[in-house]
């Protein structure tokens, strides 16, 4: 199924790109192309061949690492993605962590106080969080905590007086830990807190609602009631049996949240001036950069497919009744 998704997305993006730009080589070079350069570019990317052969070489290039050249910077698309992707990975991972830190306890609190004031308050909070557009949340948080109260920095990854650690993985926090630069680690975390919390606040309600409904369902099952009647330790019944089983559906939701965060990064990275994939994709759309748009579309699809696979594996590990085939 995952392969069919990848094939479908690559086919669709390829066809759309050819409809919008019948001759990509001419679009890349500009309105007054050099004839020799135009001919060389058309030959390199097989633009002078039939459409089905262009598609074949396009797919072949995706799986061999040749994703095309950025017509504006003359840098390979895959190289540019390698420059911008680490920021989005940091943002997504931190947002997932904060979403779970906020969402799971609130979901448990709501389920264990079903029908009471705490339950109503939690339900109201996640209803509000999922109703307000993410860019509105980002602008309000940036205005209040960044500009008015000046608690958090409003842009960038590091302070001007903090040196960036040597690049090993591209992830500043990881590279800072690997090189022992604790100052850069905490400074980068400080800069990433506001954008990642913004993403988390716009999505924690999804986890809260799912944990609440799962917990209520599990607590009503016969084996939980039997365990309580037998006098088993309340914490053991609650954490080992109820909460563990209630978290199984939440693991699957993490894959959908990844897609949510990738979409949210288009707003967050531009609002907070983070040089990540969201900002790169936005610039590609504004500049009509077809190779970059096709490359980022394929990458986002690949990430979502991979996250769904990881969710299936984790689902099987959490629930022994499920086996991977």
Three-state secondary structure of 54-112: HHHHHHHHHHHCCCCECCCCCCEHHHHHHHHHHHHHHHHHHHHHHHHHHHHHHHHHHHH
Count other C-beta atoms under 10 Å from residue 261's C-beta: 25
Side-chain half-sphere of 105: how many Cα atoms within 13 Å? 5
Question: What tens digit of pLDDT does each residue of 204-254 get?
Answer: 888 888 888 888 777 777 666 666 666 666 666 666 666 767 777 777 777
Residue identified by tokens 């563990």 is 244
pLDDT at 325 over 60: no
What confidence tens digit (pLDDT) does each residue in 249-295 have?
Answer: 777 777 778 877 887 888 899 889 899 998 999 988 888 888 888 88
Cβ(156)–Cβ(147) under 8 Å?
no
Give the residue from 32, 10, 90, 80 showing the smallest Cα distance to 283: 80
CA-to-CA distance for 147 and 166, rounded, in angstroms? 31
For the ranges 24-28, 71-75, 155-159, the lowest mean pLDDT is seen at: 24-28
Region of residue 74 (left: phi > 0; alpha: psi -120 to 50; beta: else): left
pLDDT > 90: what percent of the chain? 15
CA pair distance 142, 152, nearest whole angstrom: 9
Show Cβ contacts of residue 249 under 8 Å, excluding neighbours closer than 6 positions. 210, 214
**Nearby residues of 238 by Cβ (< 8 Å), 6 or more positions away:** none
Question: How confident is residue 132, by pLDDT bands cut at 50, 70 and 90?
Answer: confident
pLDDT of residue 80: 93
Choice among 50-54, 164-168, 226-230 with the minimum mean pLDDT: 226-230
* Long-range contacts of residues 72-77, Cβ cutoff 8 Å, at least 24 apart: 72/287, 72/289, 77/291, 77/292, 77/295
Measure the CA–CA gap between 90 and 107, rounded to whole angstroms: 25
**Eight-state DSSP code of residue 233:** -
**C-alpha–C-alpha distance, residues 90 and 41, integer Å:** 36
pLDDT band for 324, please (50, 70, 90 cuts): very low
Q: What is the mean pLDDT of residues 21-26?
A: 72
Nearest to 106 by CA among 132, 125, 130, 79: 125
C-alpha to C-alpha distance for 66 and 160, rounded to whole angstroms: 36
CA distances from 175 to 166, 182, 185 (A): 7, 10, 8
Q: Alpha-carbon distance 276 to 226, whole Å? A: 51
Tokens of 290: 């077809």
CA distance 84 to 76: 13
Domains defined along the chain, listed by start: 2-64 (no CATH), 81-295 (1.10.3720.10)
Residue with tokens 């590609």: 284
**φ, ψ for residue 49 (rounded to 5)?**
-105, 170
Report CA Rg, the chain.
24
Residue pair 95/283 in contact (Cβ under 8 Å)? The answer is no
């Amino acid at each position: 199924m995952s392969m069919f998704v990848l094939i479908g997305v690559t086919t669709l993006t390829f066809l759309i790109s050819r409809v919008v730009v019948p001759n990509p080589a001419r679009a890349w070079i500009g309105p007054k192309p050099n004839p020799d350069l135009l001919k060389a570019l058309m030959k390199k990317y097989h633009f002078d061949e039939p459409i089905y052969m262009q598609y074949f070489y396009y797919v072949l290039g995706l799986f061999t690492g040749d994703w095309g050249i950025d017509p504006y910077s003359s840098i390979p698309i895959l190289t540019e993605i390698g420059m911008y992707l680490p920021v989005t990975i940091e943002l997504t991972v931190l947002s997932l962590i904060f979403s779970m830190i906020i969402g799971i306890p609130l979901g448990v609190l709501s389920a264990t106080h079903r029908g009471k004031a705490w339950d109503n308050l939690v339900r109201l909070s996640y209803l509000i969080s999922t109703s307000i557009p993410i860019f509105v949340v980002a602008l309000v948080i940036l205005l209040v905590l960044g500009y008015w109260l000046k608690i958090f920095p409003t842009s960038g990854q590091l302070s001007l007086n903090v040196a960036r650690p040597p690049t090993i993985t591209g992830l500043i926090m990881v590279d800072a830990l690997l090189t022992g630069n604790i100052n850069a680690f905490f400074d980068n975390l400080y800069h990433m807190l506001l954008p990642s919390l913004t993403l988390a606040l716009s999505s924690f309600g999804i986890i809260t609602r799912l944990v609440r409904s799962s917990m209520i369902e599990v607590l009503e099952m016969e084996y939980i009631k039997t365990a309580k009647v037998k006098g088993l330790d309340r914490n053991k019944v609650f954490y080992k049996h109820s909460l563990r089983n209630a978290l199984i559906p939440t693991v699957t939701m993490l894959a959908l949240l990844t897609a949510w965060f990738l979409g949210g990064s288009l707003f967050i990275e531009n609002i907070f001036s983070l040089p990540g994939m969201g900002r790169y994709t936005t610039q590609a759309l504004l500049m009509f950069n077809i190779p970059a748009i096709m490359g980022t579309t394929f990458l986002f699809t690949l990430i979502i497919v991979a996250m769904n696979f990881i969710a299936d594996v984790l689902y099987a590990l959490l629930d022994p009744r499920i086996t991977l085939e």
